[in-house]
């Protein structure tokens, strides 16, 4: 009886630990960074090759539904995101394009700007993204600020080595109104 209780306790502990690690890894621990505000985006614009910028926020996580910059992208590549109202942005999620051979296309270094419009932006931070595999999500917290902005620019400074392609499968934005 005692042995079964120890086994059950051990299984329960392992299950809780796995759950907590998964909670952190997939970025659901939003804490003070707010809730998913992706649906509050009024517009998203970026130079596009065959597939447009709206694909980055459409919620469809497939490699054939990824945004592609023009072939042989010239860096920096701007991705302009305008919300319906000013928001306090706390975290951004980036999903690399899934599929074999797509890892070098993913953004590597991204500078984040915020402002009341796209003419008056200030640098918030620069992120370095290291994707563990194609199709995976990386969630990056932004520095804490008390400023709310309606416009954000994700200026992609480099990718993971592809001279021909730059792609993003999906983006998610977390924050507060």
What average pLDDT does the structure give for the chain? 86
Q: How far is 64 from 30, CA to CA, in rounded Å?
A: 29
User: What integer is the mean pLDDT of 39-68?
Assistant: 92
In 3D space, the residue among 145, 141, 153 whose CA is nearest the CA of residue 116 turns out to be 153
Residue-wise burial string across 18-31, b where 16 or more C-beta atoms lie within 10 A, e elsewhere = eeeeeeeeebeeee
What are the Cα distances from residue 113, in Å, to 73, 79, 85, 134? 20, 10, 16, 26
Summarize pLDDT for 116-160 with one digit per residue, the tens.
Answer: 999 999 999 999 999 999 999 999 999 988 899 999 999 999 999
Residue 1 has pLDDT above 70, yes or no: no
CA pseudo-torsion sign 146, 175, 170, 132: positive
Q: Kindly report which listed range (47-51, 68-72, 77-81, 160-164) carries the lowest average pLDDT score.
A: 47-51
The pLDDT assigned to 73 comes to 96
Give the model's confidence band at 93: pLDDT under 50 very low, under 70 low, under 90 confident, else very high: very high
pLDDT-derived band at 28, boundaries 50, 70, 90: very low
pLDDT of the residue at 16: 44
- Interior/surface letters 118-140, b for 16+ CB within 10 angstroms, e for the rest: beebeebeebebebeebbbbbbe
Share of the chain above pLDDT 70, in %: 81
Query: Which two tokens mark 145?
Result: 């600020």
Could you tell me the pTM of the whole model? Answer: 0.81
Rg (alpha carbons) of the chain, rounded to whole number:
19
């Amino acid at each position: 009886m005692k042995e079964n209780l120890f086994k059950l306790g051990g299984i329960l502990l392992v299950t809780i630990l796995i759950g907590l690690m998964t909670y952190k890894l997939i970025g659901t621990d939003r804490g003070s960074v707010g809730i998913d505000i992706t649906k509050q985006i009024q517009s998203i614009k970026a130079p596009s090759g065959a597939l447009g910028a709206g694909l980055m926020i459409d919620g469809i996580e497939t490699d054939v539904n990824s945004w592609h910059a023009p072939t042989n992208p010239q860096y920096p590549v701007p991705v302009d995101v305008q919300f319906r109202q000013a928001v306090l942005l706390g975290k951004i999620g980036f999903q690399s394009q899934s599929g074999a051979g797509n890892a070098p296309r993913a953004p590597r270094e991204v500078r984040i700007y915020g402002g009341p419009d796209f003419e008056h932006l200030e640098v918030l931070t620069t992120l370095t993204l290291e994707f563990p595999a194609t199709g995976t999500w990386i969630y990056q917290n932004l520095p804490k600020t008390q400023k709310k902005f309606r416009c954000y620019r994700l200026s992609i400074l480099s990718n993971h080595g592809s001279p021909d392609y730059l792609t993003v499968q999906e983006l998610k934005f977390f924050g507060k109104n």
